[in-house]
Amino acid sequence: MQNAQLTILGCGSALPTKRYFPSAQILTLREKSYLIDCGEGTQIRLRQMKVTNTRFGHVFISHLHGDHCFGLVGMISSFGMLNRTADLHIHAHADLQRLLTPMLQYFCADLPFKVIFHHVDPEKHQLIFEDRSVSVYSIPLKHRVPTCGFLFEEKPKERNIIREMIDFYQIPVSYIHKIKQGEDFVTTDGETIPNTRLTTPPKPPKRFAYCSDTAYNEKIIPIIEGVDCLYHEATFAEEELVRAGKTMHCTARQTAEIAQKANVKKLIIGHYSARYSNPEIIYNEAKAVFANTIAGEDMKTYEF
């Protein structure tokens, strides 16, 4: 089974550059993929990276600034031309449905699939989606419009069977599922075989947090505590601290401080201001505070 993967389609901010497209990324957990934000040009990156139009069924939109959602109509229209039939679920602030529905009715009237909206309250930390393998929670953020991040948590895996022990104790196939779930086994002679002798522990569930866009906000720390990977905006260098405060964004140093205080395992920064042709200054400022920092790049995949 593959590791968890984050593929960045765009890690720029509001103004696109030659190097960075606006926000969009694909998270893959348990071989299922989820699109997080959908800035302008997302479908171009999908085509460039040869991502099929059926790769994901759920889209999570953090907030209604154009660099996080302007790519939706174009992407949905192209999916229709590519004969996608699987429904597309969009999780976002309720206003997105009100704004997007007229455009879909005008430009995408004959889609061979349904676009289904799920309203998210960005002011609450709550479960907003789950399936058999993952749970997704909203993370309230501080920005100029209602905004939330997303916490993806794998559900615990079953324990791993030790085949030799199963054969030794002649355990029926019908009972193996219970053993994977942690039950002991009682032989026909009444001997109890502890589960720890029959199985090994599963790998710990992976946790990923996405936090963009936001001002410095320590309230998110308990929510993202100890995540395997945190993607957090680092729009400005420290020299633009005042501007960061006015626009309700973070500097690289502030982002690294959040990662440090939350004891995350890996930090990926992004949402760079277009004023930086090279994010080296941002990366260096973050890495000086939090050593395991990666400067996100468009069209790259990171495992964790």
Q: Which residues are catalytic?
A: 67
Check if the beta carbon of residue 303 is closer than 8 Å to that of residue 5.
yes
Q: Which residues of 30-42 are buried (b: 16+ CB within 10 A; e: fewer)?
A: beebbbbbbbbbb
HEC string of 32-82 equals EEEEEEECCCHHHHHHHCCCCCCCEEEEECCCCCHHHHCCHHHHHHHHHHC
Q: CA gyration radius for the chain?
A: 22
How far lies 151's CA from each of 128, 129, 215, 225, in Å? 10, 10, 18, 11
Q: What is the rounded end-to-end Cα distance, in angstroms, of the chain? A: 13
Residues across the chain: 304
Cα distance between residue 72 and residue 144, in whole Å: 21
Measured CA to CA in angstroms, residue 75 lies from 93, 103, 175, 277 at distances of: 19, 13, 47, 27
Query: E strand or H helix at 247, and its extent?
Result: helix 241-247
Q: What's the token pair of residue 2?
A: 């593959």
